[in-house]
Structure 1
């Protein structure tokens, strides 16, 4: 059974949550130490994390969970067309030019000028297309994957494909599926025996949230959302030597804003506030992410307790504690099958294009004019 068309799974015009997997095509590792060659590619994990962080600051995409593995990466992302609708034309143009600057006269500056922004704003048809792309999950994955591939090829002194192909996408259609998928993503290093607990699993969203809870701060990779005044850009081109401008560009890439932030400030908050009106986009204003909307009805404390307990159990562990079992049952998950669902995720949802309870999967199949989703029957054993 082939993968469904992207337009069937998600569109930029509606809010949806997607589990995306991007896999490396080569025998060489995406990250970590390649046992075959002995080369250490560990630095690529931070390349990827910083690129995700930068994109989260300008695109209308919330990063909910992630894990960077040795040969692939996992992402749970949510597109936010409602947030884009709150942005002015100038904001839309500036954000787009930060990610896709194109070929401009001032290309050595690598930063959009006020004139660039105004020129784009005058092209209303193109601006409408760009506004749509800012909340497009496929464009987010493109903006993430292409620079990493180019950078890896440059370091390896080679050409050709770096990624296996188009990313795998699974639409997550309810909170039960989202909780299970988020746990699966955060526990990937534990399942792969790369770490003994989420507390020792760097380059995962769980680790970032745990470290942020301890007050850990990092240098922000968020884009600086200020255009260069046109007169200042012209002066730099006239008076600043090319080598010096290149040094400035490298320094700007290392710390675009010069700000520090909590380690998880670029991730979407975990807890969904029940008092918030569903029509309120909760647009983020500090410049680290697109919105302040959470995604689970659990507190961060409950989530981490369940995550750590699940990490210790593996397959065939102990019975779920009563407090955690009530949380799972309230979401429609069979607590006795929880360990199996997370640790044997691929058995239930590995080949499915949709994740959630059976009734939610049936409703999504009807939306796309199909009778069922693959994995629907096997997953039914894990839900009440």
Structure 2
């Protein structure tokens, strides 16, 4: 089956959930301990996490789950054209210019001014295109990957690729697939034998949520979403030495808004609220993420209980009986509890080569929608689900 086009998998104009995998070139450990030189590049995982956090504050993209590994990155994201539609023209212009400020005399001065914002707002055609891009997963990934590659190449004093190329996208078509995929992503460090539990797995959404529940705070990486007055920008360029401007810009990047926030505040909330109207975009107002909409009909307590239980089932063929309450949770979304461990730990076996993941019936419906006869994994995964 030929590789599907991006537009076939997700449309910036439609809300959809996508599992994204981005690998380092040659699958080298460019964000871990290099196997040849022994050099430890693990600190780059925090670069990636902070860049995701920053982009979550400006794009109409909800980050549901993520895991930054030594040689690849997993994310589950949901694009939100309904959220970007609720932003004013000025909001759209500021957000876009914070990420893509355009050409400047010096890169270190790349802060949008009031005049830049006004000019973009007045260009209706350009603004409409920008508004569309802010809910486009491909543009989100571009804004994530390029700066990381540049920073790593500058540090290593080299040129060339950091990332393998085109990211892999897998559309998640129902809640059963989303729950299993989210657990698979959160347990990546445990599966790789890097850690024993999700509680000890930094640079994952599970770790951030656990730390957030404990009240842990971090300096926010969110953009401040305030343009510089044009006169002030001109005065700084004329009167401030270039080296001083560079230092000021670098310091601001560490904490653009000057706030400390809960560690998980940039992630989409886990639990959906049934009392909310389905048409309500639940736009986030505090400048940390796109929306306040959850993604699972599951409490944080139950999610973490299931996650920790699943993490303990390491040995194939030796699986403890799943607690009754957790079994009911799985049955409610159509998953066979006896196959749960196998589905999560061997996600790649079932869906690794598929561009779509979920229950067989919803995968079949998605195949019909996109003009396919079937998707890989549709038949083999059927044993993991119940009618």
TM-score range, shorter chain: over 0.9
1:203 counterpart SS class: coil
CA–CA distance in 2 between the matches of 1:335 and 1:272? 22
Q: 1:106 offset after TM fit, Å?
A: 7.5
2:120 counterpart SS class: helix
Q: 1:31 offset after TM fit, Å?
A: 1.5
Compare 167-176 and 229-238 and name the one that shifted more: 229-238
Query: Is 1:23 aligned with 2:29?
Result: no
Compare 238-247 and 328-337 and name the one that shifted more: 238-247
- Give the aligned partner of residue 304 of structure 2: 304
CA–CA distance in 1 between the matches of 2:285 and 2:108? 29
- Give the aligned partner of residue 70 of structure 2: 70
CA–CA distance in 2 between the matches of 1:158 and 1:27? 18
Long gaps (5+) in structure 2:
none
C-alpha distance after superposition, 1:176-227 (max 9, x if no partner): 0000000000000000000000001000000000011111100000001000
Compare 311-320 and 163-172 and name the one that shifted more: 311-320
Q: 1:161 offset after TM fit, Å?
A: 1.3
1:374 counterpart SS class: coil
Could you state the TM-score of these two structures normalised by the residue count of structure 2? Answer: 0.98
CA–CA distance in 2 between the matches of 1:144 and 1:85? 23
Compare 52-61 and 19-28 and name the one that shifted more: 19-28
CA–CA distance in 1 between the matches of 2:105 and 2:345? 53
1:66 counterpart SS class: strand
Q: 1:232 offset after TM fit, Å?
A: 1.1
The total of aligned residue pairs comes to: 384
Equivalences for 1:91-170 in 2 at 5 Å? 91-104=91-104, 108-170=108-170
CA–CA distance in 1 between the matches of 2:191 and 2:367? 31
Contact 1:58–1:223 under 8 Å retained in 2: yes
Greater than 3 Å deviation, 4+ residue runs: 104-108
CA–CA distance in 2 between the matches of 1:261 and 1:2? 44
Equivalences for 1:15-94 in 2 at 5 Å? 15-26=15-26, 28-94=28-94
Contact 1:106–1:233 under 8 Å retained in 2: no
Long gaps (5+) in structure 1:
none
Q: CA RMSD in A?
A: 1.0
Equivalences for 1:194-273 in 2 at 5 Å? 194-273=194-273
Query: Is 1:274 aligned with 2:274?
Result: yes
- Give the aligned partner of residue 367 of structure 1: 369
CA–CA distance in 2 between the matches of 1:104 and 1:48? 25
- Give the aligned partner of residue 2 of structure 1: 2
C-alpha distance after superposition, 1:37-82 (max 9, x if no partner): 1000011000000000000000000000000111101000000000
CA–CA distance in 1 between the matches of 2:27 and 2:313? 32
Q: 1:380 offset after TM fit, Å?
A: 0.7
Compare 149-158 and 132-141 and name the one that shifted more: 149-158
- Give the aligned partner of residue 12 of structure 2: 12
Could you state the TM-score of these two structures normalised by the residue count of structure 1? Answer: 0.98
Compare 132-141 and 238-247 and name the one that shifted more: 238-247
CA–CA distance in 1 between the matches of 2:189 and 2:179? 17
Contact 2:27–2:72 under 8 Å retained in 1: no
CA–CA distance in 2 between the matches of 1:48 and 1:168? 17
Equivalences for 1:162-181 in 2 at 5 Å? 162-181=162-181
CA–CA distance in 2 between the matches of 1:31 and 1:238? 39
C-alpha distance after superposition, 1:266-288 (max 9, x if no partner): 00000000111110000001111
Q: 1:313 offset after TM fit, Å?
A: 1.1
C-alpha distance after superposition, 1:67-104 (max 9, x if no partner): 01111010000000000001111110110000011113
CA–CA distance in 1 between the matches of 2:107 and 2:149? 21
Identify if the C-alpha distance between structure 1 residues 379 and 135 changes in structure 2 by more than 3 Å, giving closer, same or farther: same
2:20 counterpart SS class: strand
